Amino acid sequence: MIATDLVILGGGITGLGIARLASRNGWSVTLVERGDLASGASSASSHMLHGGLRYLEHGHLRLVREALGERAAIARMAPALTTPVRFLVPLTRGSRLPAWKLRAGLALYDLLAGKRELAPHSMARAAEAAAMEPALARDGLLGAGLYSDGVMDDARLAVAVARDAAAHGARILTYTRLVSAKPSSAEPGTHDVVLRENDTRAETHLRAKLFVNATGAWSDATRLDMLRMLRPGASDPKPQLGPSRGVHLVYPALTRSHGLLITAASDGRVFFVVPFAGRSLVGTTEVETLSPPEPAQCVATIEEVRYLAREVARVLPGAAAARPLAVMSGVRPLLRADGGAGDASREHRVTDDGPLLTIAGGKWTTFRIMAREVLHAAAPKLGRDLRALDDPALPLPVPLHASADAVAVSAHAVEQEFARHLDDVLRRRSSLWLADDRGMSAAPAVASAMARRLGWTPAQERDESAAWEHHVHEQAALLDRALERQGA
Ligand SMILES: Cc1cc2nc3c(=O)[nH]c(=O)nc-3n(C[C@H](O)[C@H](O)[C@H](O)COP(=O)(O)OP(=O)(O)OC[C@H]3O[C@@H](n4cnc5c(N)ncnc54)[C@H](O)[C@@H]3O)c2cc1C
């Protein structure tokens, strides 16, 4: 029986951030993720380390200021996985946003960022904007605002946080589920826990003091299951999430170097073109889902693909002839709001149910703030003193260099980065999924290097490759169906 202070459910950035901070402060931690690390929203974000310019319009000044502080801290922690990017906000005839308001918003954004780590905002005339990004539609272009934000490799940054947690003693278990938890009769105040590994069905028995539910869009369901186990007979908790799906299309680079912040013509929503790893991420959509989302609600629809393709082609006409390479889809764990997903706050909340703390809401960028709040709620329950919480913005473990070959990447991913399946490596430990062939030509070498380390049989190795091939074909078929019929 392994004794642990905390069992954290969920290996997205929220759970990993908590595991990192708790283990750095000497707590014993076991993190349980039912799939791969960052396989939920944490690898499907817009890849922005940002305060969120658009939240200024909603008056969320504190959220924006805190997130801008985190933008700077995370950039210092992971320079190899973050890049400063200049974003252009085109001003067009008849646009919702007048120039004065944009200028004021950008000035406030700079002010809230405080110490200048990134270049401050500026305004450009139409000709200057077009010279910076010749692909921009000229029709009705009046000028542009320019500001700076950070772009990150979300999945690999999450893995770096996991490595930091493990380096400080956290036990990170992926492809594992918690199958039972009940008050311990042997040691009052603790709980007997059984975990089961998905593939081997091997069980781990733990004695845990406290549970943290960091399961993102699935946290209402996890809270219900956990409380039924921990407090049998008590009434069920009310759901607190109003999740929403967000989709991005991955295009070949559509701009020279800038990101774009655009207002969609069809519905007035803000969306981005984000330069990332030589590609352009175009998104996102916002479609409400159930809590928890049904599996079919986690994938992109034809309508979302068409919406993004249409809107981006309006601003960057060249995009109409470019075919997206890939589709990303993730579900935001938003706290429920009255006005629909677009109005939902990006704030987070820690809910205390005695032996279970649930953390819901928030943003990728604010993961360290969320971790601190969870530790503050957990400390008295564990008899810990948190007056000297150690949370330095020290460098995270460094990833392999981008030029490493597929075999080296696989070895490193299995040995250092908790990779267990082929798509863990292709999609979340490397940029191979962004290659023109979506990593298909690298897949056999990656699979065979993984097979050697993980002891796969030839049949398992074939199944892993077939699963990736299926995923790539499915995405290609969706793009074909969505774009051919409308002639995009
Ligand atoms: C389209 C989109 C764009 C976004 N863009 C940005 C952005 O640019 N910048 C930004 O700061 N934020 C952004 N966000 C928000 C950010 O991505 C999320 O807030 C963040 O990733 C949530 O992390 P999480 O760990 O809470 O959830 P997730 O990453 O979803 O992780 C939850 C994990 O829990 C696991 N799980 C579920 N049930 C169980 C269980 N019973 N047991 C064990 N494990 C379980 C899941 O497999 C999953 O891995 C975006 C989100 C979306 C969807």
Two structure tokens written together for 441: 């030509």
Any atom of ligand 1 within 6 Å of the Cβ of 217:
yes
**Confidence grade of residue 345 (pLDDT, cut at 50, 70, 90):** low
Distance from the first to the final alpha carbon of the chain: 59
Task: Map out the domains of the chain with their CATH numbers.
Answer: 2-42+155-241+344-382 (3.50.50.60), 83-151+242-335 (3.30.9.10), 406-485 (no CATH)
With a 6 Å cutoff on the Cβ, whether 478 touches ligand 1 is no
Identity of residue 459: A
Comparing CA positions, the residue from 293, 297, 283 lying closest to residue 241 is 293
**pTM for this predicted structure:** 0.97
Mean pLDDT (whole number) for 75-83: 97
Band (pLDDT 50/70/90 cuts) for residue 486 is: low
**How far does the centroid of ligand 1 lie from the alpha carbon of residue 11, in Å?**
9
pLDDT at 466 over 60: yes
DSSP conformational letter for 373: H
Inform me whether the pLDDT recorded for 306 exceeds 90: yes
- For residue 262 and ligand 1, the question of a CB distance below 6 A is answered with no
- Residues 186 and 189: their CA atoms lie apart, in Å, by 10
Task: Give the per-residue pLDDT at 488.
Answer: 46
Q: Which of 22-31, 50-59, 454-463 has the lowest mean pLDDT?
A: 50-59
405 Cα–ligand 1 center, Å: 29
Cα 153 from Cα 227, distance rounded (Å): 35
On the CB side of 39, CA atoms within 13 Å amount to 20
State the amino acid at position 367 in one-letter form: F
Q: 90: Cβ–Cβ under 8 A, 6 or more apart, which residues?
A: 129, 136, 141, 143, 144, 260, 262, 315
* Cβ-contact 217, 246 below 8 angstroms: no
**Angle subtended by helix axes 458-485 and 302-315, to nearest 10:** 60
**pLDDT class of 339 with cuts at 50, 70, 90:** low
pLDDT band at residue 33 under the 50/70/90 scheme = very high
Atom of ligand 1 nearest to the CA of 14: 25
Helices 61-77 and 99-113: crossing angle, nearest 10°? 60
pLDDT of residue 362: 93
pLDDT of 114 strictly over 60: yes
pLDDT at 344: 54
Confidence of residue 247 (pLDDT cuts 50, 70, 90): very high
- State the average pLDDT over residues 108-137: 95
- Please, what's the b/e burial string for 333-343 (b: 16 or more CB within 10 A of its CB; e: otherwise)? bbbbeeeebbe
Q: Which residue has the tokens 């310019």?
A: 53
The two three-digit tokens of residue 44, written as one number: 């499907």
Q: What is the mean pLDDT of residues 171-176?
A: 98
Strands (E), 65-200: 82-92, 122-125, 141-152, 171-173, 176-183, 191-197
Q: Answer for the pair 292, 302: CB distance below 8 angstroms, yes or no.
A: no
Mean of the pLDDT values across residues 171-181?
Answer: 98
b/e for 233-252, b at 16 or more Cβ within 10 A?
eeeebeebbbbbbbbbbbbe
Sign of the C-alpha dihedral computed for residues 429, 434, 435 and 437 taken in this order: positive
Amino acid identity, position 443: A
Mean pLDDT of all residues in 199-225? 97
Q: Whose CA is nearest to atom 3 of ligand 1?
A: 45
What is the Rg, in whole angstroms, of the alpha carbon atoms belonging to the chain?
23
- Segment 310-333, tens digit of pLDDT: 999 999 999 999 999 999 999 999
**187 has pLDDT over 50:** yes
User: 360: Cβ below 6 Å to ligand 1?
Assistant: no
| Mean residue pLDDT across the chain | 94
How does pLDDT run across 377-391, given as a tens digit for each residue? 999 999 998 877 888
> At which residue do the structure tokens 């000497």 appear?
26
> What one-character-per-residue DSSP string does 295-346 give?
GGGGS--HHHHHHHHHHHHHHSGGGGGSPP-EEEEEEE-PBP-TT-GGG---
* CA 77/CA 380 separation, integer angstroms: 29
The string of pLDDT tens digits covering residues 53-71 is: 988 888 889 989 999 999 9
Across-strand partners of 480?
A: none
316 vs 94: CA distance, rounded Å: 18
Identify the CA nearest to 210 among candidates 359, 334, 335, 349: 359
Query: How many CA atoms, within 13 angstroms, populate the side-chain half-sphere of residue 314?
Result: 14
The pLDDT value recorded for residue 55 is 85
CA of 17 to the centre of ligand 1 (A): 12
Helix (H, G, I), strand (E, B) or coil at 229: helix
Mean pLDDT, range 454-458, rounded to an integer: 97
- Residues 289-295 have a mean pLDDT of 96
Query: What CA–CA distance (Å, rounded) separates 108 from 294?
Result: 40
Measured by CA distance, the residue closest to atom 19 of ligand 1 is 363
Q: Whose CA is nearest to atom 1 of ligand 1?
A: 246
pLDDT-above-90 percentage for the chain:
90
What gap in Å lies between CA 59 and CA 61, rounded to an integer?
5
pLDDT value, residue 347: 86
Whose tokens are 């272009």? That residue is: 141
